[in-house]
A = this chain, B = another copy of it.
């Protein structure tokens, strides 16, 4: 479908309920639909927003255009959970309805304050000449889910930035409130993270300054910055657009990256002793706009948009697109970020149908669904290919080409099914330690694969679009390996 500007910004009230019900049916019944990941009730899903713990529950929203697979007029769709795994739909929580967010209730974050949750988000406004002004807005959500927006913006865009000034992450430190935002300088169009502070929350916001975190220029724009404190380190997760690939290599249209510092100086807006060269947060094909926060249970968690800007997916033809990743627990080890499934993911396992295997294997018995967890260790000093989602005729599979002698894994989604974003390549290669066992924890959910490598040292996330009957799991030649497979229940 060709989405004109008029179609994309048509008010929700001008769509009929019958159209929406049909779109919800189309999304809900797609064979490619996710069964244990957050997916759009209808239309397009993008950035996770407002990831938080409040009122004895975990909360996250996602950016949503409900009326098709297009980046149209966006709202927040709210989900809640008691275990970070089983999410319940709570409905649309922030919708464009005033002069400041007239053209979209864009991304933002949330901060629990007693018995209310404070939401800070970007209102997207365009004037009649389609000139954009971003506003940083506030809203309160009470325990019953009622939302009241603040009458006035928290932050108006400083003149030194272009129209690209958005995605506030709000946090509280030592009695002060802080927010970091993605920003582009008006002059020179350079990407930055901008730090703001206030002591009053609802007002009094003023700029601290651009965050110093690398000697390198982070492209022409940074989106979705997140600062989290992990195992004594400060971790900045962000999405640089137009980053020079010689600074840090990536293959996706835009990367989601991170820097690690020994701490963060809020007075001087500095990631202290930064790792300087950003690393990819995910070494797969489709992660962007991850949102992370420090939870009251002492852990830092992240959740990602599985989808990319400026990218089409096969389900666009079914009028829906994208999903969120599973929640990942963050750790820092040896100067690198580790991401692991949360412990409650184990509650999805259908233990009665668990299958264990060990030996020199040609294959692993075929599950009867693309909804499973495969935990597998491939012994060191072997070379070969583990094929997942294989068709009976061997023509289609997701190929994990491993060399555990040299220490390399190449994920090839070129033959798994319908092509996705092939302009940006069909393989991703991950360097591993030479002559070591390779541990993979693989989650398959109908059109999503999340591959945790060596205890979360790397994560490779990717969408695939295969026939739902393609379930063969096999090595291209007998390979020494062991592990377990569990079918997983719906969330």
CB neighbours (8 Å) of A344 from chain B are: 489
Complex Cα gap A88–B488 (Å): 14
Contact A18 B25 (CB under 8 A): no
Contact B83 A489 (CB under 8 A): yes
A66 interface contact, C-beta 8 A: yes
A14 interface contact, C-beta 8 A: yes
Complex Cα gap A22–B146 (Å): 11
CB neighbours (8 Å) of A145 from chain B are: 25, 28-29
- Give, as a whole number of angstroms, the nearest-CB distance from A490 to chain B: 4
Chain B residue nearest to A143 in the complex (CB): B31
CB neighbours (8 Å) of A90 from chain B are: 25, 28-29
CB neighbours (8 Å) of A89 from chain B are: 24, 28, 41, 89
A21 interface contact, C-beta 8 A: yes
Contact A489 B12 (CB under 8 A): no
A67 interface contact, C-beta 8 A: yes
Chain A 156-178 interface mask (CB, 8 Å, partner B; 1/0)? 00000000000000000000000
- Give, as a whole number of angstroms, the nearest-CB distance from A321 to chain B: 16
Contact B91 A21 (CB under 8 A): yes
Known: A15-B16, A16-B12, A16-B15. A490 touches B86 (CB 8 A): yes
A190 interface contact, C-beta 8 A: no
Contact A92 B490 (CB under 8 A): no
Complex Cα gap A87–B35 (Å): 9
Complex Cα gap A387–B22 (Å): 45
Complex Cα gap A309–B142 (Å): 34
A20 interface contact, C-beta 8 A: yes
CB neighbours (8 Å) of A31 from chain B are: 143-144
Contact A56 B369 (CB under 8 A): yes
CB neighbours (8 Å) of A25 from chain B are: 78, 90-93, 145
CB neighbours (8 Å) of A78 from chain B are: 25, 28-29
Complex Cα gap A12–B21 (Å): 9
Chain B residue nearest to A352 in the complex (CB): B343
Contact B347 A17 (CB under 8 A): no
Contact B490 A83 (CB under 8 A): yes
Complex Cα gap A369–B89 (Å): 18
For A489, give its contact among B41, B91, B347, B369 (CB under 8 Å). Answer: B347
Chain B residue nearest to A491 in the complex (CB): B86
A350 interface contact, C-beta 8 A: yes
For A13, give its contact among B13, B16, B87 (CB under 8 Å). Answer: B16
A60 interface contact, C-beta 8 A: no
A368 interface contact, C-beta 8 A: yes
For A26, give its contact among B30, B91, B490 (CB under 8 Å). Answer: B91
Contact A21 B24 (CB under 8 A): no
A290 interface contact, C-beta 8 A: no
CB neighbours (8 Å) of A24 from chain B are: 41, 89, 91-92
Known: A16-B12, A17-B12, A66-B21. A27 touches B489 (CB 8 A): no
Chain B residue nearest to A16 in the complex (CB): B13
A85 interface contact, C-beta 8 A: yes
Contact B21 A88 (CB under 8 A): no
Instruction: Scan residues 38-95 of chain A and give those whose CB is less than 8 A from a CB of chain B.
Output: 41, 56, 66-67, 78, 81-83, 85-93, 95
Complex Cα gap A91–B344 (Å): 27
A11 interface contact, C-beta 8 A: yes
- 11 inter-chain pairs at a CB distance below 8 angstroms, sorted by A residue, are A13-B18, A14-B16, A15-B16, A25-B93, A26-B91, A28-B89, A28-B145, A56-B368, A86-B86, A88-B490, A490-B491
Known interface pairs A16-B17, A28-B89; 15 further A-B residue pairs with C-beta atoms within 8 A, sorted by A's residue number = A12-B18, A13-B19, A14-B16, A16-B16, A17-B19, A17-B67, A20-B21, A21-B95, A24-B41, A24-B89, A31-B144, A35-B88, A41-B89, A83-B350, A86-B86
Q: Which residues of A contact B (CB under 8 A)?
A: 11-22, 24-31, 35, 41, 56, 66-67, 78, 81-83, 85-93, 95, 143-145, 344, 347, 350, 368-369, 371, 487, 489-491
Q: Which 3 A-B pairs have the closest CB atoms?
A: A25-B91, A29-B145, A15-B17
